[in-house]
């Protein structure tokens, strides 16, 4: 199919109805490039340039400066709701600039002996202009607000569908750049070119925007590509090595990098709060907790103030989660310490990875290749070129187009080779399973390519196997025996059983034993199920046991956002209470959830803050709050160190030290005994079972009834005695006793809503 409509633009909000784009074709671009030189027309900002450029320029013919305004692309039809952005002052000249034609690959900005090469893909563009902003040291201060514009010649600077040029004499760093691209204006065919907009290079390895996170004095900051070819290669150290943790041994900690240390209670210097370096300072906490992998919410460049660019009900919000990627190659520049910018962000990201690896902790990135505000998207040409919406944002990435596939693969390889990351979690990954028309594919090319790519062979690859268009693929995600999945059925079934829903015992048993009904196919393993009760979207663990209903009024959407299907239970009162009995029950329930998670076959994942009981006050969609709703509260952690945190940490370490809880195969009848003859009774909410492994048995019982259950305790293995390690009904430190408390009785009374773990020991 020729002329597949895809968008490449700067959207100022992810719900934009007026994007610009550069369409793609399914044909492969021609890669030939000639070596000849050319003279091309150049536009220079204002009137004067310094000697650095005078060796490239031969004559100047001045013309009138022009200044114009462009309406925000979010909605060009509504004048009163749009901020105006001035085009940079430009001077039209016939000033010749001696440049070489450049080469088509690599895409983006690269450097060689000829200078800096710029290459960008666009199938339908009729005009491409490279816009350069050079450091003040290169030209005099009179022109510091302007840009140099180099108009490319389609006869010389184009190979196939790739436009390219090489510029001599540019500095090795500090140059910001973008593109003005023009082409057909045929809306009904999906063409939305607008050369007044300076576009961000999708292959830019670094992106520069505002300097400090959430700086409201710079709401309409422009985002441009930049580069740093002068820094020395990063020193990973002589004894550095990748953790390469087996998937059976992973315990994942999902965390928001900024929110982890942004709060004053972190005790960090203001300059490193919310930064890559801030994470390094808190590695001792991660080690004390016991996790060995961090799954970072998006750390690709995004605009945290995208909601504040025009008046709207969400214009008080700051995008804290980051699910609005602008570029797939550049680390978030405002996560650098002390406003360190793009180069600082790149270096400090590597420092963070290096430090985490030295601590034996892997780094998994949450990546958003399903939608973005600078990208190529699906359109429906049968309906006025409407953007197809499988992401909830209206701008779905056309992942299985050959050019977009290569963009995604190049991005993934970049993060593995340049930044040494250990894996990826793909947000709304079902989008990657759709064809160019949005229809589901049985064998999506991009999913297979990721699974088979040699550069990614050591990486953990994890799918969120659903999207907002209803393509729910839990247990059915195309996988090539490589892809793991966020197991949404695990989350729902565990929540429902622990809170006491009827007819959930069988499902609970299936989930804690590895979800064989979903994953025992071909060569898939239990660890391909990423087990979780809590994730970033939805209730925190504390809120799961404290709220029956979401409370999202602070989001500005009148409580209509966020899911209503939370399977939560407030334990008798909605929200905060001083009732000791209710608070005790909530504490017990949080421990029950954690026990279930840590004894389940598969890969456990927990959320940052649940180790002390973080609350978002019932907000189950807190993406836009850069405050205590999302920020880790270190003072609260200290207050819970000897109780809640201690239990969570000890339970994680118990899992690490007991291989019986993390098989690399599915359980057989020889591995588990179910102490149950009441499977068919929907009102039965008690389950007990024993895991077997060479006499090192573990007995587990979960009581989701609101009354005491007297459990029959099985005979321990020969020459062994049961030792009670966990009883969630007991207060700390008796709720978890590492060495175990000997127990020789025939029965054990399980309190309402409690769980017990016993270990067979000599």
Lowest-confidence range among 112-116, 222-226, 379-383? 379-383
Q: 68: pLDDT confidence band, cut at 50, 70 and 90? A: very low
What pLDDT is recorded for position 57? 35
Which among 667, 653, 657 is positioned nearest to 525, based on CA atoms?
667
On the question of pLDDT at 711 being above 90, the answer is yes
Provide the 3-class DSSP secondary structure of residue 51: helix
Per-residue DSSP letters for 443-486?
S-HHHHHHHH-GGGTTSEEEE----TTS---TTT---TTT-EEE
- pLDDT tens-digit readout, 638-695: 999 999 999 999 999 999 999 999 999 999 999 999 999 889 999 999 999 999 999 9
406 exposure class (CB count in 10 Å sphere: 0-12, 13-18, 19+): middle
Contact indicator for 393, 7 with CB cutoff of 8 Å: no
Q: Tell me the mean pLDDT in the region 396-424.
A: 95
The residue among 3 and 677 whose pLDDT is bigger is 677
Lowest-confidence range among 76-90, 312-326, 370-384? 76-90
Q: 189: pLDDT confidence band, cut at 50, 70 and 90? A: confident
Q: 398: pLDDT confidence band, cut at 50, 70 and 90? A: confident
365 has which bridge partners?
296, 424
pTM: 0.88
What pLDDT is recorded for position 383? 67
690 has which bridge partners?
673, 699
Lowest-confidence range among 189-193, 230-234, 428-432, 672-676? 189-193
Lowest-confidence range among 217-221, 264-268, 291-295? 217-221
Q: 713: pLDDT confidence band, cut at 50, 70 and 90? A: very high
Instruction: Please list, in sequence order, all residues whose beta carbon lies within 8 angstroms of the beta carbon of residue 490, skipping any fewer than 6 positions away.
Output: 511, 515, 529, 531, 532, 600, 602
What pLDDT is recorded for position 492? 98
Lowest-confidence range among 142-151, 325-334, 635-644, 713-722? 142-151
Q: Tell me the mean pLDDT in the region 23-49.
A: 34
On the question of pLDDT at 413 being above 50, the answer is yes
Of the residues 149, 427, 467, 727, which is catalytic? 427
Dist CA 268 CA 261 (whole Å)? 8
Assign 3-state DSSP to the chain and report helix, strand, coil percentages, each to 5.
25, 20, 55
Q: Tell me the mean pLDDT in the region 157-174.
A: 95
Contact indicator for 460, 250 with CB cutoff of 8 Å: yes
What pLDDT is recorded for position 4? 29
On the question of pLDDT at 73 being above 80, the answer is no
Q: Tell me the mean pLDDT in the region 206-227.
A: 96
Dist CA 646 CA 317 (whole Å)? 35
Report the chain's mean pLDDT, rounded to a whole number.
87
What pLDDT is recorded for position 392? 74
Q: 380: pLDDT confidence band, cut at 50, 70 and 90? A: low
Which among 319, 372, 366, 351 is positioned nearest to 8, based on CA atoms?
372
Of the residues 301, 304, 464, 697, which is catalytic? 464
Contact indicator for 69, 30 with CB cutoff of 8 Å: no
What pLDDT is recorded for position 563? 94
On the question of pLDDT at 66 being above 80, the answer is no
On the question of pLDDT at 80 being above 70, the answer is no
The residue among 303 and 25 whose pLDDT is bigger is 303
- pLDDT tens-digit readout, 473-492: 999 999 999 999 999 999 99
On the question of pLDDT at 526 being above 70, the answer is yes
Q: Which two tokens stand for residue 3?
A: 């002329």
What pLDDT is recorded for position 65? 25
Dist CA 341 CA 319 (whole Å)? 19
Q: Which two tokens stand for residue 148?
A: 């140099």
On the question of pLDDT at 51 being above 60, the answer is no
Q: 325: pLDDT confidence band, cut at 50, 70 and 90? A: very high
Q: 25: pLDDT confidence band, cut at 50, 70 and 90? A: very low
Dist CA 282 CA 284 (whole Å)? 5
Instruction: Report the 10 Å Cβ neighbour count for 538.
Output: 24
- pLDDT tens-digit readout, 537-559: 999 999 999 999 999 999 999 99
On the question of pLDDT at 586 being above 60, the answer is yes
Contact indicator for 174, 53 with CB cutoff of 8 Å: no
Q: Note if 215 is an active site residue.
A: no
What pLDDT is recorded for position 382? 67
Which among 356, 361, 335 is positioned nearest to 347, based on CA atoms?
335
Which among 62, 161, 61 is positioned nearest to 120, based on CA atoms?
161
Cis peptide bond N-terminal to 650, omega within 30: no
On the question of pLDDT at 91 being above 60, the answer is no
For the CA atoms of 203, 205, 211, 215, the dihedral, rounded to the nearest 10 degrees, stands at 50
Q: Note if 84 is an active site residue.
A: no
What pLDDT is recorded for position 185? 86
- pLDDT tens-digit readout, 602-648: 999 999 999 999 999 999 999 999 999 999 999 999 999 999 999 99
């Amino acid at each position: 199919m020729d002329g597949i409509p895809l968008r490449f633009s700067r959207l100022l909000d992810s719900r934009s109805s007026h994007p610009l784009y550069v369409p793609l074709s399914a044909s492969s671009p021609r890669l030939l490039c000639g070596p000849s030189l050319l003279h091309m027309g150049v536009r220079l900002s204002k009137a004067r340039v310094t000697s650095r450029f005078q060796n490239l320029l031969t004559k100047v013919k001045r013309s009138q400066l022009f200044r114009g305004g462009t309406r925000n692309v979010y909605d060009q039809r509504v004048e009163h709701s749009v901020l105006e952005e001035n085009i940079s002052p430009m001077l039209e000249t016939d000033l010749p600039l001696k440049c070489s034609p450049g080469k088509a690959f690599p895409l983006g900005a690269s450097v060689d002996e000829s200078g800096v090469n710029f290459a960008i893909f666009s199938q339908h563009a009729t005009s491409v202009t490279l816009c350069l902003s050079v450091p003040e040291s290169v030209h005099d201060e009179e022109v510091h607000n302007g840009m140099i514009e180099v108009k490319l010649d389609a006869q010389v600077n184009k190979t196939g569908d790739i436009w390219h040029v090489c510029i001599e004499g540019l500095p090795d760093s500090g140059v910001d750049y973008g593109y003005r691209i023009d082409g057909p204006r045929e809306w009904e065919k999906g063409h939305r070119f607008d050369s007044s907009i300076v576009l961000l290079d999708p292959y830019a390895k670094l992106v520069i925007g505002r300097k400090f996170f959430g700086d409201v004095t710079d709401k309409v900051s422009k985002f441009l590509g930049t580069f740093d070819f002068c820094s020395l290669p990063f020193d990973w150290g002589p004894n550095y090595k990748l953790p390469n943790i087996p998937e059976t041994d992973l315990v994942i900690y999902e965390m928001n990098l900024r929110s982890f240390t942004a709060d004053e209670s972190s005790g960090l210097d203001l300059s490193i709060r919310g930064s890559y370096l801030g994470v390094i300072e808190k590695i001792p906490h991660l080690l004390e907790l016991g996790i060995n992998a961090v799954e970072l919410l998006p750390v690709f460049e995004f605009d945290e103030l995208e909601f504040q660019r025009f008046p709207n009900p969400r214009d008080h919000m700051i995008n804290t989660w980051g699910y609005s990627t602008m570029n797939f190659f550049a680390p978030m520049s405002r996560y650098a310490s002390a406003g360190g910018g793009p180069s600082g962000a790149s270096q400090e990201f590597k420092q963070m990875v290096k430090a985490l690896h030295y601590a034996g902790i892997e780094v998994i990135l949450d990546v958003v290749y399903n939608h973005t505000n600078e990208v190529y998207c699906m359109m429906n040409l049968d309906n006025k070129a409407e953007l197809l919406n499988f992401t909830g944002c209206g701008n779905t990435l056309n992942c299985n187009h050959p050019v977009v596939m290569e963009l995604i693969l190049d991005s993934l390889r970049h993060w593995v080779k340049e930044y040494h990351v250990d894996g990826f979690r793909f947000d709304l990954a079902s989008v990657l399973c759709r064809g160019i028309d949005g229809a589901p594919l049985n064998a999506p090319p991009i999913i297979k390519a990721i699974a088979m790519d040699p550069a990614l062979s050591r990486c953990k690859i994890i799918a969120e196997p659903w999207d907002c268009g209803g393509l729910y693929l839990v247990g059915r995600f195309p996988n090539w025996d490589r892809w793991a999945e966020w197991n949404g059925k695990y989350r729902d079934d565990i929540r429902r059983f622990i809170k006491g829903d009827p007819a959930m015992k069988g499902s609970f048993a299936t989930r804690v034993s590895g979800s064989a009904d979903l994953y025992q196919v071909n060569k898939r393993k239990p660890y391909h199920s990423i087990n979780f009760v809590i994730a970033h979207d939805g209730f925190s663990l504390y809120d799961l046991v404290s709220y029956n209903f979401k409370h999202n009024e602070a989001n500005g959407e009148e409580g209509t956002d966020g899911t209503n299907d939370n399977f939560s239970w407030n334990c008798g009162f909605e929200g905060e209470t001083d009732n000791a009995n209710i608070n005790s029950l909530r504490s017990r329930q949080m421990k029950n959830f954690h026990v279930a998670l840590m004894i389940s076959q598969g890969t456990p994942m927990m959320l940052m803050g649940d180790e002390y009981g973080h609350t978002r006050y019932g907000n189950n969609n807190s993406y836009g709050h850069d405050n205590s709703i999302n920020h880790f509260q270190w003072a609260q952690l200290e207050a819970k160190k000897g109780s809640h945190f201690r239990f969570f940490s000890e339970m994680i370490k118990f899992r690490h030290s007991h291989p019986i809880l993390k098989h690399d195969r599915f359980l057989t009848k020889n591995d588990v005994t179910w102490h149950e003859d009441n499977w068919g009774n929907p009102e039965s909410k008690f389950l007990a079972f024993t895991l077997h492994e060479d006499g090192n048995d573990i007995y587990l019982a979960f009581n989701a009834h609101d009354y005491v259950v007297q459990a029959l305790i099985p005979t321990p293995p020969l020459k062994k005695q049961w030792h009670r390690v966990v009883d969630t009904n007991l207060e700390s430190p008796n709720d978890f006793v590492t060495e175990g408390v000997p127990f020789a009785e025939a029965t054990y009374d399980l309190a309402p809503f409690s769980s017990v773990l016993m270990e067979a020991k000599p």
